[in-house]
């Protein structure tokens, strides 16, 4: 029986494929390379030492999805495929609702048709909006503050409604905090097509000289050093969380925070990066970015209790692994 990984050549998807194959799962990747590169398939085969089936399919193409399910004994799905840039979602909401929400509905409809009722969803801490208090638990208030976050919340609600209509389904909604870092081989990394939005890819561009400096969005927040605090989690820890979610998934709908439970400020991340890598990291303070919460970090104890999962890697390792991948000259460009 196989696990279908939609978006399996993306940043978190590709790292999860490595962990799934390492855990003895038969992985089938479905991707359309909107935000990744075909070369990643070869890299995954090299890292895992396994042949990995791959389908070049758009998540909204129901006929193509049916063909994938007809040709592969898929009995569970991890759904990563989706647009994920917050600022872009504000500018192009229809693209986000069309791809993220309609894509998820198409996928879940085909799963239902083939009797595949185990679904791990790539959700996000963004469903907590601007958290009233930290740490954030799975019972914290849910609210979306941008179209990207609203698509995540809508898909979570779709999962809850499906389960209420048919108790044979199993759903695990994984709410990621801030994924950072890369596989220790240096052969996989966060490498979005187009300009990145997240902190670490921009730190790496400033450290390699691709950009003159990192812009730090605001140092006047009510935090110890004035910069925003986030729960950065190593992408390999996050990937292992998906294996734990599959293994621990039961009938019903459960949400889990996948974070470290520790908060670090932007300045702490900058200083750690410089100390660990020895790289120059020019930066300057600029005005706040709209929509940024001052502080957001997780209480990950439910995942520990129910999935026997917890993050192991610290921000030093996140910085070291991200830097190694960024300098890997034979990285697929």
Binding site for ligand WQD (CB under 6 A): 84, 86, 124, 126, 176, 178, 197-199, 202, 214-217, 228, 230, 266, 289, 292
Q: Identify which of residues 206 and 243 has a Cβ nearer to ligand WQD in the complex.
A: 206
Among this protein's residues, is 256 annotated catalytic? Answer: no
Report which of 187, 250, 262 is spatially closest to residue 11, judged by C-alpha positions: 187
Q: What is the DSSP letter of 126?
A: G
* Residue 19, SS3 per DSSP: helix
CB of 272 to ligand WQD, least distance (A): 13
Q: How far is the CB of 229 from ligand WQD (least distance, A)?
A: 8
Q: Closest CB to ligand WQD among 284 and 305? A: 284
Long-range Cβ contacts of 102-108 (<8 Å, 24+ apart):
102/60, 103/58, 103/59, 103/60, 104/59, 104/79, 104/155, 104/158, 105/158, 106/59, 106/60, 106/61, 106/62, 106/65, 107/6, 107/59, 107/65, 107/77, 107/79, 108/158, 108/159, 108/162
Identity of the residue, 20 or 214, whose beta carbon is nearer to ligand WQD in the bound complex: 214
Least gap, CB of 216 to ligand WQD (angstroms):
4
Q: What angle do CA 14, 83, 12 make, to 5 degrees?
A: 20
Output phi, psi for 130, to 5 deg: -95, 95
Q: At what angle do helices 315-326 and 199-207 cross, to 10 degrees?
A: 60
Q: Report the C-alpha gap between 60 and 2 in whole angstroms.
A: 21
Among 83, 128, 148, 256, the active-site one is 148
Residue nearest to ligand WQD (CB): 228
CB proximity list for 318: less than 8 A, separation 6 or greater:
180, 181, 200, 232, 234
- Compute the least distance from the CB of residue 106 to ligand WQD, in Å: 21
Minimum CB distance to ligand WQD, residue 290 (Å): 10
Nearer to ligand WQD by C-beta: 249 or 270?
270
Q: Which residues are catalytic?
A: 148
């Amino acid at each position: 029986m196989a696990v279908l990984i939609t978006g399996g050549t993306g940043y978190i998807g590709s790292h999860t494929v490595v962990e799934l194959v390492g855990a003895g799962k038969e992985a089938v990747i479905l991707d359309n390379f909107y935000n990744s590169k075909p070369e990643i398939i070869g890299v995954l085969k090299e890292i895992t030492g396994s042949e990995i089936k791959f389908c070049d399919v758009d998540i909204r193409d129901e006929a193509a999805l049916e063909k994938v399910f007809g040709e592969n004994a898929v009995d569970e799905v991890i759904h990563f495929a989706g647009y994920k840039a917050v600022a872009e979602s504000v500018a192009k909401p229809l693209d986000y609702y069309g791809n993220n929400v309609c894509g998820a509905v198409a996928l879940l409809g085909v799963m239902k048709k083939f009797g595949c009722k185990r679904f791990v969803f790539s959700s996000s801490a963004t469903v907590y909006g601007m958290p009233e208090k930290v740490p954030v638990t799975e019972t914290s208030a849910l609210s979306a503050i941008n179209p990207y976050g609203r698509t995540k919340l809508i898909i979570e609600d779709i999962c809850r409604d499906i389960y209420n209509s048919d108790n044979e389904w199993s759903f695990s909604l994984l709410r990621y905090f801030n994924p950072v870092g890369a596989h220790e081989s240096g052969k996989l990394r966060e490498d979005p097509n187009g300009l990145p939005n997240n902190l670490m890819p921009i730190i790496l561009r400033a450290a390699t000289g691709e950009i003159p400096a990192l812009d730090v969005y605001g140092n006047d927040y009510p935090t110890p050093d004035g910069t925003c605090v986030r729960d950065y989690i190593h992408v390999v820890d996050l990937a292992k969380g998906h294996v734990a979610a599959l293994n621990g998934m039961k009938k019903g709908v459960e949400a889990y925070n996948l974070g470290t439970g520790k908060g670090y400020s932007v300045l702490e991340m900058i200083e750690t990066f410089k100390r660990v890598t020895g790289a120059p990291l020019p930066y300057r303070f600029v005005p706040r970015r709209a929509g940024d919460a001052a502080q957001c970090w997780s209480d990950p104890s439910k995942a520990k209790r129910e999935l026997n999962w917890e993050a192991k890697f610290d921000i030093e390792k996140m910085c070291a692994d991200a830097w190694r991948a960024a300098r890997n000259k034979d990285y697929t460009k």
